[in-house]
Amino acid sequence: MNYETTLSADEAMGGLEGRPGMSRGRKALIALAILAVLAAVYFMMSHGSGEAEFAPTGDELAPAVTVVAPGKTTIAGEIVATGTLAARREMPVGVVGEGGRVVSIPVEAGDWVSAGQVLAVIDRSVQSQQAVSSEAQIDVARADAQLAQANLDRALQLVERGFISQADIDRLTATRDAAAARVKVAEAQYRELLARNARLNIIAPASGLVLERNVEIGQVVSPGAGALFSIARGGEMEMLAQVGETDLAALSNGVTASVVPVGTNKAFEGQVWQIAPTINEQNRQGVVRIAMSYAPQLRPGGFATATISSGTLVAPMLPESAILSDEQGSYVYILGKDSKAERRRVETGMVTDSGIAVIEGLDGTEKVVLRAGGFLTDGETIRPVDADQAS
């Protein structure tokens, strides 16, 4: 548009006046229009350099991104695991005696029992008669022993007169001693029968909660019949949580856990009391045993979810949108010199509801791109906007 216009208003008017048949009023309107065009051309020529004032600068072309300095946060570590509920110490109770026909079962599954309480009674009619017979044998043996002692006493009186030889005294002494020994044998046999009869009753070895009853009245049981009852000692329960081998390294005995059984929203407090010394080769997991007190909602065999405390960590915390990943691992974009986007490799740690902990690569003072990092390139100029201002 850098050109000159030499046409004056008088020349334009002169050209109009030279035209025949045009009225003076119409000539005036045309002259005003020509003057307006000339004024517009003069304005454009005189202000042509002002176009640069409206051209966008390089900074205005740079993308605006939200950045934040995360600092460092104390993060309570948590490991979420699933598993099954079980009795912490399950005691199978079966036949310890001869067995026989069950005549009475005074307990049911779900009952609390004390140590030594009878769980089932087995018919002992035959064994009782055997005990009576054995007791009678004791009386017989004692009578024989008394007779042998009396014979010996009389022989000792006669030996002084010479009517009994010393050999006869020795024989009678041996007879007396044998009779006394038979008394002891009879008494031992009787006590053995009483002990056997006592073992016919199936009793609780310790106090606890009856979990299973696998016997009915009239059933004939024997020592090989398996467990007739199952008791949770003290009613104590536990959860067998399946934890990955990486998370196992962050746990220790004594840490607390919150267990929520399936079918309820109620959480039960527990404590890790044992960590598996081995890892399953198929699923690469180990068992963490969480001890809990008895509660009706804790049913062995049920499924549950546990949230286990794994200590605390002081590290920068970033939202998931700020952390990117590729085949080499995780990385973020930070604000570098001259407002350049700088790619930084990081190592992530705990994942919580508040974000992801960065345990390596950041000290918390950097300004990290919160979003749109996937659209940036390393060294690209950006226009940073603080997160506080953006909100």
CATH of the domain at 355: 2.40.420.20
Q: Model-level pTM?
A: 0.56
The answer on 174 and 48 residing in a single domain is no
14: containing domain: 9-53
- Report the C-alpha gap between 73 and 373 in whole angstroms: 23
Residue 59 counted as domain residue? no
The total number of structural domains that make up the chain:
5
Strands (E) located in 123-246: 202-203, 208-213, 220-221, 229-233, 237-244
- Average the pLDDT over 139-167 and give the result: 84
How many helical (H) and strand (E) elements, i.e. helices and strands, does the chain have?
7, 22
- Residue 284, sorted as left (phi over 0), alpha (psi -120 to 50) or beta, turns out to be left
Residue 361 DSSP code: S
Q: Are residues 258 and 303 in the same domain?
A: yes
DSSP letter (8 states) at residue 164 = S
Residue 111 has pLDDT above 70, yes or no: yes
Q: Give a yes or no: residue 3 inside a domain.
A: no
CATH code, 274: 2.40.30.170
Are 152 and 215 members of one domain?
A: no
Taking the CA atoms of residue 45, residue 46, residue 48 and residue 53 in that order, the dihedral angle to the nearest 10 degrees is -160
Distance in angstroms (rounded) separating the CA atoms of residues 35 and 288: 95
Residue where a domain terminates, one of 281, 298, 314: 314
Backbone angles phi, psi at 140, to 5 degrees: -60, -45
pLDDT one-digit tens code per residue, 74-85 = 777 788 899 999
For residues 160-187, give the mean pLDDT: 86
308 and 276 inside one domain = yes
pLDDT digits (tens, 9 = 90+) for 272-299: 999 989 998 888 899 999 999 999 899 9
Q: What pLDDT, on the 0 to 100 scale, is given for residue 43? A: 55
Helix extents (H) in 116-165:
125-159
200 has a pLDDT exceeding 50: yes
- Domain of residue 189, CATH code: 1.10.287
Environment class of residue 385 by beta-carbon count within 10 Å: exposed (0-12), middle (13-18) or buried (19+)?
A: middle
pLDDT in tens, 297-345: 999 999 999 999 877 778 888 988 889 988 888 999 998 888 888 999 9
Residue 170 resides in a domain: yes
**Whether residue 283 sits in one domain with residue 162:** no
> Is the same domain home to 320 and 381?
yes
Per the domain annotation, does 1 fall within a domain? no
Going by their DSSP bridges, the two strands 64-68 and 383-386 should be labelled as parallel
Query: How large is the average pLDDT for residues 115-133?
Result: 87
pLDDT score of 287 = 94
Same domain, 152 and 251: no
Q: Is residue 310 part of a domain?
A: yes
